[in-house]
Structure 1
Amino acid sequence: MVINETKWDEEILTDLFNDRDVQLIKNIPLSAVGRNDSWMWFLDEKGQFTVKSCYCKLIGEYSTSDVGFWKKVWLVWEAVGLKEWSQVLPGEQAMDNFKQIFSAGTKEQSILVAVLCWSLWNRRNKWVWDKIDMSVFGTKAAALNLLADWRKARMEGNKYKPVVSSRSRQWKKPQAGWVKINVNAVIFTATKSIGIGGVIRDENGEFLRAMCKQETGMWQVREAEAISLREVMSWTKRHGFSKCEFETDSKLLADAFNGGQGNSYFYSIVNECIELSKHFQHVLVQFVHRSANVVAHSLARVSHSESGLLKWVNVAPDFLIDVLTYDSI
């Protein structure tokens, strides 16, 4: 690194490493605040080594085509209220049959197989613990009865299920005397960079300022979102706002800022955001749904076709007019 600066010494990097390694090193986010060097596990969001994350990496779980299959299995199993799937570990041949059923079968067939598995597991437990032997017909009947009861309960529950208004997920004005700043990040895989967008609006919902910029480097989504909050927070601080509500559509980021702890790239950037927040009189960082963060998302995407930092003051750019109008309704 350059002495007394938070940037890599590219001349030294080029002398010591090959092109691939240089790019990987330059992609490591550097902390703007002083902190001691420490070990961190890059496969875990908190930087902590776990056997599970190591195992998943070794078997290629993150890229295997079986991921979709297992997600479907879990969703079906959870949908019928039976989470004991981890207790049912069939052999290799049976596993192939399961994959065929859940991949090619209908939703109804998948659900039926799920409850039959639970009934078999329940039958096994009754024999092991209580020495009660259920017949094959009894096992099937128990599964079908369970499925019928679950469907009836679902139908009864849906009668009283509250309707979620789309308005509840729309952008809302900040409290009196505050400004609201929406932030977002977009990953541009082709150019190995991320786009950052931020917009400031007052208590009346009026547009005050907006910015967007492109940052070179390939990061995971969580790091990209944290970098966007850091950059937008720094930009906001320079303009003298003291009571600020920051909104992000990354729940992981909002939770980390409001009390999460970890030792990873992600948390090092979050800690920078926390340090920046001390320069404001009052700061809130909150999670919102993507539908309430469309303006910031639009700004982040625009940065892909522009270079450098783009800024707008008091007058919004044309491409934001429609989404700003929708938010103000």
Structure 2
Amino acid sequence: MDGSLFDNSKKEEHAEIVSLCWAIWNARNQFVWDNKKSSVDRVLTSMRQYLAEYSKAQDFFTQALYQFVEHRDGAQVWVRPKNSAVKITVDATIFAESSSYDIGMLARNDKREVICGRLESYPSNVRADFAEAMAVKEALSWCKLNKWHEIVLESDCLSVVQALRCSIAMRSPFVILLGSVERCSRR
């Protein structure tokens, strides 16, 4: 592609186009892998959610949260874990129109081979970061069930990663959930 699609459009339009493509791709995967059909409304709702998350990530005040960022954070390519480790990639998707969310987990070995995957749906209206934190919590429980002791956990939710790394005690449902994630990870 020569980039001509974006040559005459604005930055906001780029974000809308990319968000729509992502939502269509996600709907396609749900159809191919789970035989779930998505309505146009559901795809557009997903697009709006992705766009809102993107906009939030671009916000100037959000940039102040980068104090807990480490060297490999934000890697654009998959990074191989050490030989004996299992790498778990987690993600969550919010479906506002049905007041539900899905979490997905994928376990791979150091050869990039898929060991197994898991998808769960929850009938609850939650914030995106809370859904992502639930995905991390469920992934740790999944690791314990499968007796995987050496794991690398990968998430695309910066606020969850930073909250897990933060040593400041705070009180909110989100932070309390993350506290249970930390306790689960130590077992």
Q: TM-score, normalised by structure 2?
A: 0.58
Unaligned 5+ runs, structure 2 = 1-54, 61-74
- CA distance 1:260–1:224, change in 2 (3 Å): farther
Partner secondary structure for residue 115 of structure 2: strand
Is structure 2 residue 177 aligned with structure 1 residue 266? no
1:182 maps to a residue whose letter is T
Is structure 2 residue 164 aligned with structure 1 residue 257? yes
The count of corresponding residues between Structure 1 and Structure 2 is 116
Q: Residue 197 of structure 1 is aligned with which of 104, 113, 130?
A: 104
Q: Residue 84 of structure 2 is aligned with which of 177, 180, 201?
A: 177
Distance 1:233 1:254 in 2: 14
Q: Is the 8 A contact 2:143 2:149 kept in 1?
A: no
Unaligned 5+ runs, structure 1 = 1-67, 75-167, 280-329
Runs of 4+ in 1 over 4 A off after TM superposition: none
1:234 maps to a residue whose letter is S
Aligned to 1:239: 146
- Rg bigger for which structure? 1
Deviations 1:282-321 (A, max 9, x none): xxxxxxxxxxxxxxxxxxxxxxxxxxxxxxxxxxxxxxxx
Q: Is the 8 A contact 2:105 2:118 kept in 1?
A: yes
Is structure 2 residue 132 aligned with structure 1 residue 225? yes
State the percentage of identical aligned residues.
23
Distance 2:110 2:78 in 1: 12
Q: Is the 8 A contact 2:104 2:119 kept in 1?
A: yes
Partner secondary structure for residue 98 of structure 2: coil
Aligned to 2:185: 277
Partner secondary structure for residue 97 of structure 2: coil
Partner secondary structure for residue 169 of structure 1: coil
1:193 maps to a residue whose letter is S
Distance 1:260 1:203 in 2: 31
CA RMSD of aligned residues (A): 2.0
2:180 maps to a residue whose letter is E
Compute the displacement of 1:205 (Å): 1.1
Deviations 1:222-278 (A, max 9, x none): 111111111121112100000000000011111111224321011011011101101
Q: Is the 8 A contact 2:107 2:117 kept in 1?
A: yes
Q: TM-score, normalised by structure 1?
A: 0.34
Distance 1:218 1:205 in 2: 34
1:235 maps to a residue whose letter is W
Distance 1:201 1:171 in 2: 11
Distance 1:213 1:260 in 2: 30
Q: Is the 8 A contact 2:91 2:156 kept in 1?
A: yes
2:86 maps to a residue whose letter is V
